Amino acid sequence: MTARPRLRTIALALCSALLATTASVLPARAGTPAPVPTWEVRGPGDAPTAVVALDPADGHPTLAVRRDGRTVLEPSPVGLVTERADLSKGLSLIGRSERPVRERYTSTTGKSRVRVVRMTEARFRFRTATGARLDLVTRVAPDGVAYRYVLPRSQGDVLRETSAFTLPAGASALLGAYRSDNELPFRRYESAAAVPSGAYMMQSLFHTDGGWALIAESDVTGTYAGAHLTHSAGSATYGVSLADDAPVHTAGALTTPWRAVVTGDLATVTESTLVDDLAPASRIRDISWIRPGPALWTWLAGGKAAGQSLTAQEKYVDYAAERGWPYEVVDAGWYFEPDAWDVVDPDWQTDGWMPELVRYAAAKGVGIHVWLHYTLLTDPAEREKWLGTLEHWGVKGVKIDFMNSESQERMRWYDDVLRSTARHHLMVNFHGSTIPKGIQRTWPQVMSMEGVGGEEKRTNTAEQLASLPFTRNVIGSMDFTPGAFQRPERPDAGSDAGELGLTVLYESGIQNLSGTPESYDARPEARRFLEQLPARWEETRLLTGDPGRSAVLARRSPDHRWFIGGIFAGAARTADVPMRLGAGRWLVETLTDGPADLVRTAHTVRGGDTLQVPVRADGGFAALACRWYEGRTSCEGRA
């Protein structure tokens, strides 16, 4: 190619780029305000549209989300303020590029095993008058829109974000007040603008003109801090605040976490894997040692009184082995001195009962998970000592508790612990913690995280039970620990069928079943159902639901059976449940509340039929569905 054609090619490319960034700008009439330049980012298929705009008056950028011509988010502020620059205004666009994002990966936990990622990514390059740079990276997927900031050069510590989400008029809300352990309950508000002033969890759900919208974040590491929403009554805008309102310390270029809006109809939001899809790929090559599955967890049987001794724990191991559950979890107290909370050095346990319990359990085909207070793992040398010892004993996983912070310092601690547990082949369940935020894709040994007011709380309501499938559990695995039939204070105490349904309704890589052996033996139908729970799910479908009022989910096991769980807040009723399981005939065995025990009833239905299921007040049901054939009367069989 000669120099002249090459120059012509470069000139044409520059003209095309200029047209792409200015196509939405129309000349202003005399005496009218200058038009707002806007740029649309369209995703594949029927994805929503992100609309980035730059106000010509003061140079502040905004991002809006639309779907099918309707508004999901009004133009909402984006930007950062650092020690050296205000990157929320006075900006000019100096370039824009776009590329497709296509990925395929498998997940060890979650709503589905195989994930296919299709997104459009656009990068907007902004600059201030003094030369400070801010790149706004947006991604649009069929189930949502996300954006993050990239600072190509250090601008000092990040003081705050101006990121916010502005809801259209008439939007309603389902959200919970913020606390660093993410355990406060959700509440419905008919008006998002009328929500009281305060701090709220990021996983807030809104119903807008353009469909449902769940706020989330992804790829939060120690380079940044966790975040939550802040709101002033009377405003439709929800701002983003960093943990403890503390600066984020940086030393060089910075890429922030994703701010995301999971959006679509209710099924699209509930079944979404967008938060995982945005996260970095797995950092673990060999995942053969990572095996999810149900566990017998005995803490709610009486805490330390449940038996922190070899004799007591061997009985629990025996019971887990009889049920076919792959794990038993030994909670707090196993490494404490009797009648004290003084930590014993792990060397002491070399001659203690834990190594013997691990050997005993292994012979029965049961793996042991153990509880640890996070402070044991703050010092690098002590962390290596504890985790190395547990790996040497043959412990399969650790339940780490009481972090209770989303600060940058604590997120760095997560980074360190995740690397260490991966190296020592230990699966992880975080309690008193942040929520997953994509962590399970990057670190697949994370089986579950609390970040929820679970079964052990005494303040739950049926409304809370019906809120979680559409909020917290959309984000990632949730250790609610269902199955505590023995607890009279549970909100569905009048409905054993509802309690059983929670074991399917709530997804967790390690489903910690919190009932006592005696409570299961007294409910043989519940025990039979729990014995069939698979280790993981292949697919998830929302059958019906109304956030905060009802939820029915179906999850497909590897052997192609569908497990179904439903919960309903309010009066007793006959629930209409669409069988969105696929074409053909299905045998559906429902488990509902009877006069004395659960009642198992077989139904033959076609895919798409509506099944009527009786439920008690503040109760629910469980069900198992399999392909029907002549003569088949049961879906019995271990997945």
In this predicted structure, which of 145-149, 226-230, 331-335, 591-595 has the lowest mean pLDDT?
Answer: 331-335
The answer to whether 14 touches 95, Cβ cutoff 8 Å, is: no
Look at 183-197, 326-340, 580-594 and tell me which has the smallest mean pLDDT: 326-340
105 is a domain residue: yes
Q: What pLDDT is attached to residue 303?
A: 72
Q: Is residue 556 part of a domain?
A: no
pLDDT at 244 over 50: yes
In sequence order, which ranges of 281-407 are alpha helices (DSSP H)? 310-323, 354-363, 380-393
Q: What is the pLDDT of residue 333?
A: 86
Q: Higher model confidence: residue 163 or residue 339?
A: 163
Average pLDDT over residues 246-251: 96
The active-site residue out of 401, 479, 496, 507 is 401
CA distance 76 to 84: 24
How far is Cα 37 from Cα 52, in angstroms, rounded to an integer? Answer: 8
Asked if pLDDT for residue 273 goes beyond 90, the answer is: yes
> What pLDDT does 25 receive?
46
How many C-alpha atoms does 255 have within 13 Å on its Cβ side?
A: 11
Higher pLDDT, 112 or 304: 112
In a domain, residue 408? The reply is no
Tell me which residue of 72, 184, 203, 280 sits closest to 474, measured CA to CA. 203
The pLDDT confidence band at residue 5, using thresholds 50, 70 and 90, is very low
| pLDDT > 80? residue 490 | yes
Q: Cα–Cα distance between 369 and 427 in angstroms, integer?
A: 8
pLDDT tens readout for residues 513-543: 999 999 999 999 999 999 999 999 999 999 9
Exposed, middle or buried: residue 627 (CB in 10 Å: 0-12, 13-18, 19+)? Answer: middle
Residue 179 lies in a domain: yes
**206, 238 Cβ separation under 8 angstroms:** no
Asked if the structure places residue 244 within a domain, the reply is yes
What pLDDT does 64 receive?
98
> For 293-351, how does the pLDDT look when each residue is reduced to its tens digit (9 = 90+)?
999 998 988 777 777 889 999 999 999 999 999 999 999 989 864 444 445 455 544 45
278-295 in b/e form (b: 16+ CB < 10 A) is bbeebebeeeeebbbbbb
User: Which CATH number fits the domain that encloses residue 111?
Assistant: 2.70.98.10
- pLDDT of 302 reads 76
Q: Is 401 a catalytic residue?
A: yes
Strands (E), 441-584: 446-449, 512-513, 539-546, 550-556, 562-568, 573-578
Residue 183 has pLDDT above 90, yes or no: yes
Which range marks the domain in which residue 110 is found?
A: 37-278
pLDDT of residue 347: 55
Compute CA distances 248 → 140, 414, 595, 624, whole Å.
27, 16, 58, 48
**pLDDT confidence of residue 45:** 87
Mean pLDDT, residues 567-587: 97
For the residues 492-507, what does the mean pLDDT come to? Answer: 97
Residue 56, pLDDT > 80, answer: yes
Q: Which of 9-13, 273-277, 478-482 has the lowest mean pLDDT?
A: 9-13
The mean-pLDDT minimum among 79-93, 132-146, 337-351, 613-627 falls in 337-351
- Residue 86 C-alpha from the chain's centroid: 32
Structure-token match 């149900």, residue found: 294
- Residue 639: which pLDDT band, with cuts at 50, 70 and 90? very low
Q: Which residue has the tokens 């140079």?
A: 59
Is 447 inside a domain boundary? Answer: no
**Residue 625 included in any domain:** no
Mean pLDDT, residues 14-18 taken together:
39
On the question of pLDDT at 119 being above 70, the answer is yes
- How many structural domains comprise the chain? 1
Please answer whether residues 531 and 324 qualify as being in contact, where contact means their C-beta atoms are separated by less than 8 angstroms: yes
Active site residue 244: no
Identify the band that residue 492 occupies on the pLDDT scale cut at 50, 70 and 90. Answer: very high
For residues 507 and 27, which has the higher predicted lDDT (pLDDT)? 507
What DSSP string describes 94-118? EEEEEEEEEEEEE-SSSS-SEEEEE
In 3D, which of 198, 197, 215, 216 has the Cα closest to residue 207?
A: 215
Catalytic residue among 55, 157, 391, 456: 456
Top-confidence range, 18-27, 308-317, 571-580: 571-580
Q: What is the mean pLDDT of the chain?
A: 92
Q: pLDDT digit string (tens) for 202-224?
A: 999 999 999 999 999 999 999 99
Q: Give the pLDDT score at 20.
A: 36
Tally: H helices and E strands in the chain? 13, 36
Q: Quick one: pLDDT at residue 8?
A: 44
Strand ordering across the sheet containing 367-373: 446-449, 427-430, 397-401, 367-373, 327-330, 295-297, 512-513
Predicted confidence (pLDDT) per residue in 425-443, tens digit: 999 999 999 999 999 999 9
DSSP SS3 for 83: coil
Span 159-165, average pLDDT: 98
**Is residue 256 in a domain?**
yes
